[in-house]
Structure 1
Amino acid sequence: MSRALVRDERPGPVNPSDRIDSIDALRGVALLGVLAINLVMEFRVSIFEQFLSAVRPAAPLDRAVETVLMLAVDLKAFALFSLLFGIGLAIQFEHLSESPRRAALLFRRLIVLLTFGLIHLCLIWNGDILTEYALAGLIVLPFLFGPRWLLAGGAVAFLGVYLAMQVWPPAGLFPSFTSIQRDVQEANQIYATGSFADVLAFRLREVPLFVPLHVYMLPRTLGLFLFGAFVWRCGVLRTPHRVLLFSTAAVCIGLGALLILSGSSSFVAVTGIGRLATPVGTIALALGYGAAILAIANLTSGKVLLGWAVPLGRMAFTNYLAQSLIFGWIFYGYGLGLFGSIGAAKALAIGLAVYVAQVFFSAWWLGRYRYGPVEWLWRTLMYGTMQPMSIAPLTSSI
């Protein structure tokens, strides 16, 4: 038997030509939201500033940018990415349905992601989300072997835990106000002027402050992973129903906006029901955004309108890590050292420039190669065999 036939019988990644463009377009657009929040709220200043009573002075334009991002983007972009990750897990699970190694391959896929996440967290940026996603994926993986109702039930249960934590926050989970205040003061000094070694050491010291944030958000991540897998299992993304998508978008965006605006009211926010308004509104808004973008991307005109986001979404892993490297150099002391010195509007402008450059780079790269460089490495380590990189068809004589 030829080596070509042996190779073809082995499980491998989803062929790029078989990918669903609308999902990749949604991932590419969602990446813009993640970039904006990471840049304005975490690379530019310490993420822990928002927990302090003192507000950094800001120009009206900067304040407006921060307000819009907090109300319309903030956790919504990450919720959307969680849904997409759950969809991706379900697609991989289905793709490997004929392989006796399915469980082992999916486990290895998540372990490789965990390795990438820990490297990213320790050496590049401690705002990493990959580590949490890998750990959440390992928890969700057994659910994929169950029936569809188990995915739905798990999603409801985990989201219920997350919402309960909004009303009854776990005692002793979060660090003290004094430790947060001290960390912000050190961050303003070290991130702005420190060498790479200084920044690395401080980044590792900050990790214990980040852990409670991830623990607090983990039930939501698990719930959205399971809900994304449930949606894929239902088949509504395989053959998109435009009326259903547009209707879902209208209802969820309207409901989400109403809840978030009401939750921003100081009177409503202090009540038990009020504490649920923003987290429920965030999830609803994320669902609405996702449904709207998928609905538009499946229109003939929408494919033209959002076609630029497809390559970006296919290379989301590479682009996410590249953003951390670029923004780390721009804002930390071992590079340009802009940490804490520019407003939200200027920071967002820098981010948009990087994003546009990634749009063009992703299209150029995927015009020549099958996968982004990090996506290729992820697949190669997952399957344990070197994956083809060229877009030229594989040929071999028998």
Structure 2
Amino acid sequence: MAHTPIREGRSGPISPSDRIASIDALRGVALFGVLAINLVTAFRISIFEQFLPTGPAPPLDRAVETALTLAVDLKAFALFSLLFGTGLAIQFEHLSANPRRAFLLLRRLVVLLAFGLIHLCLIWNGDILTEYAVAGLIVLPLLFGPRSLLAAGAAAFLGLYLAMQEWPPPGLFPTLASLQRDIQEAHLIYPKGSFVEVLAFRVREIPLIIPLHVYMFPRTIGLFLFGAFVWRSGVLRKPHQMLLFSTAAGCIGVGAALVVAGSTDSIPQTVIGKLATPASTFVLAIGYGAIILAIANTVSGKALLGWAAPLGRMAFTNYLAQSLIFGWVFYGYGLGLFGSIGAAKALVIGLAVYIAQVFFSAWWLSSYRYGPVEWLWRTLMYGTMQPMSLAPSRSI
């Protein structure tokens, strides 16, 4: 039976029955892209090795790395940023009747910032939650403006990000020598160090990682705003299949052309060549999102992608769980596989973890309203204990 999702005028968390399953499915699929890139480029080896020349790799590993670079890489993170902006706009609308809306959403982002800092310092310094929280704090006031303001803001911040490809801020990035020293230390400490040694080195790496976030920050804000604009436009409330399929075809076609242009030897030296690859990331992200949503909104697509919706509903829990699991797999306080396996084997490990999370998410949500971390986030946001069990509570 059809119903209108995300009912307006509520003051508490969105009910599981009011969620849009296709958006949850999209988030669940995007989570695999994030997992794959984090695993291959940041857990398996130092995150900085991608910026330095590397020796020859076995053909299978090279094929995996190339496929992830061209088809997934920053596109998965761009898609997640779009979804975060959409989610923030949904929360903003859902709380429209609550006089404490601004305070609640501010507290939601501050709690996310606290989670991010804990994750960044104690679990894994490749954290994205901190950046998302800070970007959300900038985007939040703009949600009170008209839809045109969201569109203009998205264009301005994405334009700034593209301009930084041609004119990067001077002195922002560390020297190659400092990166090489860090990589050498990483290969000594990460595979053999104790938890305390790994923790200390992880914290020492943060100043080298911050410039990467600064460089990507305008893009994150721009994609948040674009995701909020898409929600405000209404195309996700009652999806128009032809619009979604045509958007997917156009964006994937243009994005693929930009990828080719950015990788052609004769083009990258021009301004167009320098902008082609970064522009392709969010064009392809829109295309990926549109095609997955279009499929997920069909009868057969719901059966095909239904497994991803529980995973997407618990994306926060699953993201943090991946950091804990992969930290144990690759660092010295666990299996210590850092730097010792290729991209293909790492991806097999990641796929096994992802499949396990698919089954765990479905099992968990068969009894509970939210994932464990999602429940804690809502409880801290509203300042009251949120119901967890799906079993109806008795009124008092």
Q: Which amino acid aligns with 1:74?
A: D
Q: Give structure 1 regions of 4+ aligned residues with deviation exceeding 2 angstroms.
A: none
1:390 aligns with 2:389: yes
Whole-Å Cα distance in 2 between the matches of residues 367 and 390 of structure 1?
9
Whole-Å Cα distance in 1 between the matches of residues 182 and 260 of structure 2?
31
Q: Which residue of 2 aligns with 1:371?
A: 370
Whole-Å Cα distance in 2 between the matches of residues 273 and 28 of structure 1?
34
Q: Which residue of 2 aligns with 1:308?
A: 307
Q: Which residue of 2 aligns with 1:285?
A: 284
Q: Which residue of 2 aligns with 1:100?
A: 99
Whole-Å Cα distance in 2 between the matches of residues 80 and 61 of structure 1?
27
Q: Which residue of 2 aligns with 1:80?
A: 79
Cα distance change on mapping 1:56 and 1:333 into 2, 3 Å = farther
1:50 aligns with 2:50: yes
Q: Which amino acid aligns with 1:388?
A: P
Whole-Å Cα distance in 1 between the matches of residues 242 and 151 of structure 2?
23
Q: Which amino acid aligns with 1:35?
A: L
How many residues get paired?
Answer: 388
Whole-Å Cα distance in 1 between the matches of residues 198 and 119 of structure 2?
14
Whole-Å Cα distance in 2 between the matches of residues 266 and 125 of structure 1?
36
Identity of matched residues, %: 78
The DSSP-based 3-state class of the residue aligned with 2:187 is helix
Q: Which amino acid aligns with 1:218?
A: F
TM-score, with length taken from structure 1: 0.96
Moved more, 364-373 or 268-277: 268-277
Q: Which residue of 2 aligns with 1:337?
A: 336
Equivalent residue runs for 1:231-310 within 5 Å:
231-310=230-309
The DSSP-based 3-state class of the residue aligned with 1:87 is helix
Q: Which residue of 2 aligns with 1:16?
A: 16
Q: Please list every run of 5 or more consecutive structure 1 residues that lacks an aligned counterpart in the other structure.
A: 1-8
Q: Which residue of 2 aligns with 1:3?
A: none
Whole-Å Cα distance in 1 between the matches of residues 393 and 97 of structure 2?
22
Q: Which residue of 2 aligns with 1:183?
A: 182
The DSSP-based 3-state class of the residue aligned with 1:266 is coil
Q: Which amino acid aligns with 1:51?
A: F
Q: Please list every run of 5 or more consecutive structure 2 residues that lacks an aligned counterpart in the other structure.
A: 1-8
Q: CA deviation at 1:10?
A: 8.2
Equivalent residue runs for 1:61-76 within 5 Å:
61-76=60-75
Q: Which residue of 2 aligns with 1:41?
A: 41
Q: Which residue of 2 aligns with 1:325?
A: 324
Whole-Å Cα distance in 1 between the matches of residues 239 and 271 of structure 2?
38
Q: CA deviation at 1:91?
A: 0.3
Q: Which residue of 1 aligns with 2:138?
A: 139
1:120 aligns with 2:119: yes
The DSSP-based 3-state class of the residue aligned with 1:192 is coil
Whole-Å Cα distance in 1 between the matches of residues 257 and 392 of structure 2?
51
Whole-Å Cα distance in 1 between the matches of residues 332 and 116 of structure 2?
23
Alpha carbons 2:82, 2:223 under 8 Å: kept: yes
Q: Which residue of 1 aligns with 2:5?
A: none
Q: CA deviation at 1:272?
A: 1.3
1:206 aligns with 2:201: no
Whole-Å Cα distance in 1 between the matches of residues 173 and 41 of structure 2?
19
Q: Which amino acid aligns with 1:303?
A: K
Q: What per-residue deviation string (whole Å, max 9, x for no partner) do you get for residues 284-313 of structure 1?
A: 100000000000000000000000000000
Q: What per-residue deviation string (whole Å, max 9, x for no partner) do you get for residues 50-97 of structure 1?
A: 1112x1431100000000000000000000000000000000000000
Q: Which residue of 2 aligns with 1:381?
A: 380
Alpha carbons 2:119, 2:125 under 8 Å: kept: yes
